[in-house]
Structure 1
C-alpha cells in the first residue's frame, strides 16, 4: 500500500516546489514542503554528529550512538520503560517508524507516519520519548559490537575492503574522513561514550528539521516543538572545527598482495566540497566521464572497446569537506595494469579537452528529462529538502536545477575538471593483480 501511495506523489519537474523555511523558537532551522496528496508525513532531523566527529581511537562512535537509540527508552513522566523489543512493537502498532543513521557529516533521525489524527500525535510523542530518554542498554551494545566485529572480520577477507582502506588513507591522510572502524576502535567504545557523544552532538541549536507531508506550517511548528523539546536539555556546547582535506602533493601507488580471482582497482584524489561553485558542471561532466553507466566514456573505452572490465565508473563524493573523486573497476589480475593505463588515459583526455557538444547535449537530455524521478515520492523529496537545509542551498534550488543544467557549456565543464582534477598526482590502488 505504501509503495502505491508514494508512487502517486509525483512532482512535475516544471512545477514550483514550495519550500517554506523559518527559525523555530528553539533555534532549530525548519524546512517544510506541504504535500497533501497522501496522508503521510516524513521528517528528518540532521545534526553535526557524523563520523567526522569520531575520536581517532574510537572510530565508529557516532554510528554506535545512533544504533543504540533503538535499544529502548527509560521510564518517563509516568510512562513505563520500554525495552528494545517493546519499543519496536510500539512502532509497529502505530504503523510508523523511527530510524537513525550516520554519514561522514551528519547524525540523522528520520520519522515516517501516517497523518491520521489518531496516529500522528502518538508517533510524534513516541519519537520525542525516544529522543529524550534512550535507555542505553549495555547488553544491546555488547551484542551489536560483537556483530559489527564479526562483520569486519568477514570484510577483511574481501579484496575490495583492503583496496578501499588503502585508498581512503592515501586520499584523506589524517583527515577524519579517512577514519576506519576496526575491532580495536569498537572495543574502545563504551555505552557511556555513546551517550556522551549523543548528548554533545544532538543539539537543538545546530538542528536542521525537514518535513514533507500532508501538514501545514502550524502543524509542523507543533511537531518541531515536541521533537526539539525532547533534546533541549542537551545544551549547546561548541564543537571544535574540522580541518579541510589537504590536496595531494604527489602521486601514490600501492599494490598490496592479495590472492583474488578479480583485481580491485581504485584511482583518485580529494575532490570537492558540496559548496564548490563548480558542483553542477562537475556533476554533469562526471555523468559523461564515468557516472552514466553504459553511455560513459570509461565504459566505452575500458569495457566495450577492450573488454577489460564488466563495470567501471567514476564518482564525486562531496560533503562539508572535499570528498574523494574516484574511478573504480574490477578486472582479471593479468589485465590490471592495462585497465589502469586505459582508465587514466581516458580521464586525462577528458580533463584536457572536456566533453564534445553531442555528449553534453545527451547528458543534459537525460538528466533534465529524468529530474522528476528524483523527487517523485515524499521520501525522495525529503532527501532533497534535507540537503538544501544542510548545505544552505537556495530554497528554489530544485525549481532552478533543470535550467541551470541546460545553461552549462562545454567550456564550463572543461574549466571545472581542469581546475579540480590532477591525474598526475593521483592515488592508484590495485589489489589482487598478478606481479609484473
Structure 2
C-alpha cells in the first residue's frame, strides 16, 4: 500500500508539472456577439476551428424530432452558391476536412486545415459559407430523409437500439432529452425545407455561437477568423432555457426479442456538466463500472460469476441532468440473475462507498490516462468547444488532475448517496424470456 501511494504521488507530481505547462486559453466576444475561445499552438502548420450552437436534439419537439440533426447534416450539402460536390472538392483540393458533433445540447461543425495562407483562405471561405449560408435544397433533403428513414427502420430491429430508445423515454418522459436524436420514421417523413430553414434561423444565431480555434495563427488572425465565420449569421433571440429534469417513477420493462442474448440497461438522472459533484462522481463511477476489468461490476458479474462478457456504467453530463446508465448483455436464461446482481452491486456501492485502495487505484488510472485525452490538437479543441459552450472555467484542463486528486472516499460516498437512488432506476430488458 505504501508503494502504491508513493507511485501515485509521483505520477500526480509529473502530471501536475505537465498541467502547469499547458497552453493558456484566451477568450473574447466578437463585435457581432459570438463567444470565442482560442489556443495559439505553433508546433504544427495546422488550424482547427469549430463552431457550436445550442441546437441539439433537445431543441426538437415530438412531432419534429430529427429536425435538429438533419439541419446540422445538411449544412455542408450545398451552401453559399456551392453545390455539395463543390464544397467537398474545394475542401479536398487544399487537404481540409469537415467534421460534426451532435448530442442533446449541442450541434457543432468543425474544420481542420493547413494554416498556410492559400489553403487556410480557401478552406475558411467554404467553411464560412457552410455555417452562414446553407441552402437546404429540396432534392438533397428528400434524399437524406430517405437515408435516415432507412437507417431508423433497420436500427429498430436491433435489441440494443430498442433498449436504449425505450430507456430514454422511461427516464425522461415528456422532457425533450427523451427524444431520439435521429428522429422517428413518422416525424422525419413529415419534415419540409421550411422546417429546417426556420430552425436554422432561430438556433444558428450569432449570439448563440461558440467559436473554438486552435493552431498556428496569432490572436489577431484568430479574431478575424471568428468574425468572418459568424458576422453573417442570423441575429435571433437567446436560446430557450431547458426545463429541469425530475426523477422518473421506478419501472422495469421486459421485451421479447429473438436475439440470443438479453440486453439489460438501467438508468437514473445523473448530473449537469457544471455540477459541483462532477469529479467525485467521475472517480466513483470509475470504481463502480467505468474502469474496465478493475471495476466492481466487472469483478462481480463477469470475473466471479461469468454472467456477462462485459458490463459498464457511465455518466453523460449535459446542461440539465444527463443519464447515469449501467448496461450489460447476458444469456437469456440468466438475465434475471444478472439483473438482480447488478442492482445489488449498485446498492452496496451507494450505501458503502469505495475503499481507500479502490480510490487510490482509480485516481491513478484517471490521472495516468488524462494526457492521452489531450495529446492532439483535435482532442484539445473538443475540450475547448465544451468549455466554451458550458461556460466552464478557462483553467478547466489545468484543474482536471487536481480535482480528481482531491476526491475523497467520503466525498464519493456522499455524492452517490445524494445523487443516485438504486431503488428509483428505470430498467429495460430486451430479449427477456417472457414479457412483464
Partner of 1:113: 113
Structure 1's unaligned 5+ residue stretches are 1-10, 75-80
Q: Residue 72 of structure 1 contacts residue 134 of structure 1 at CA under 8 Å; is this kept in 2?
A: yes
Partner of 1:25: 31
Partner of 2:46: 40
Q: Residue 31 of structure 1 contacts residue 211 of structure 1 at CA under 8 Å; is this kept in 2?
A: yes
Instruction: Answer with 127-136 or 294-303: which moved more.
Output: 127-136
Q: Secondary structure at the match of 1:212?
A: strand
How many Å apart are 1:312 and its aligned residue? 0.3
Partner of 1:184: 186
Partner of 1:333: 332
Q: Secondary structure at the match of 2:76?
A: helix
Structure 2's unaligned 5+ residue stretches are 1-16
Instruction: Answer with 304-313 or 186-195: which moved more.
Output: 186-195
Q: Residue 69 of structure 1 contacts residue 100 of structure 1 at CA under 8 Å; is this kept in 2?
A: no
In 1, the alpha carbon distance for the partners of 2:110 and 2:50 equals 4
- The Cα offsets for residues 143-197 of structure 1, whole Å up to 9 and x where unpaired, read as 1111111111111111112111211111001000101311101012111211111
Do residues 55 (structure 1) and 57 (structure 2) align? Answer: no
- Decide which of 180, 196, 199 is 1:197's aligned counterpart: 199
Do residues 150 (structure 1) and 150 (structure 2) align? Answer: yes
Name segments (4+ residues, structure 1) moved above 4 Å: none
Do residues 221 (structure 1) and 227 (structure 2) align? Answer: no
Partner of 1:381: 380
How many Å apart are 1:237 and its aligned residue? 2.1
* Cα-Cα RMSD: 1.4
In 1, the alpha carbon distance for the partners of 2:42 and 2:240 equals 41
In 2, the alpha carbon distance for the partners of 1:144 and 1:126 equals 21
Q: Secondary structure at the match of 2:39?
A: strand
Residue correspondence of structure 1 range 2-151 to structure 2 within 5 A: 12-74=18-80, 81-151=81-151
How many Å apart are 1:329 and its aligned residue? 0.3
In 2, the alpha carbon distance for the partners of 1:305 and 1:216 equals 56
Q: Residue 41 of structure 2 contacts residue 214 of structure 2 at CA under 8 Å; is this kept in 1?
A: yes
Residue correspondence of structure 1 range 393-408 to structure 2 within 5 A: 393-408=392-407
Relative to the length of structure 2, the TM-score reads: 0.93
In 2, the alpha carbon distance for the partners of 1:240 and 1:279 equals 24
How many aligned residue pairs are there? 417
Partner of 1:78: none
- Decide which of 213, 227, 231 is 1:211's aligned counterpart: 213
In 1, the alpha carbon distance for the partners of 2:271 and 2:414 equals 14
Q: Residue 13 of structure 1 contacts residue 371 of structure 1 at CA under 8 Å; is this kept in 2?
A: no
